[in-house]
Amino acid sequence: DIGYNATKKQYYYGLKGSFEVGSDGHIWAYTLSKASKHDIKMVEDLLRQYRCQYILADQGYLSNELKKKLEKEGIWFWTPSRKI
């Protein structure tokens, strides 16, 4: 499967992984998917495995809709701002 990395502006072949890691460094949840699946689609898979109160994510997870949804569920969701 072919995915696209918007930050690096390049295509890649393979798969991608998303991990939920605690402040102690332990992996509490993980999911693997095809490369073309958007990162924000994996958040629900992770939260089904391990529910947490705080999520610190990279720019691949930028989504106001997801942030609002998680806030309603009592989850603090932070991603860096998109570069202008």
Output the pLDDT for position 6. 80
Output the pLDDT for position 5. 82
Q: Indicate whether 82 pLDDT > 90.
A: no
**CA–CA separation, 1 and 64 (whole Å):** 27
Q: Indicate whether 84 pLDDT > 70.
A: no
**CA–CA separation, 13 and 58 (whole Å):** 20
pLDDT digits (tens, 9 = 90+) for 10-62: 998 889 999 999 989 999 999 999 999 988 999 999 999 999 999 999 888 99
Output the pLDDT for position 28. 94
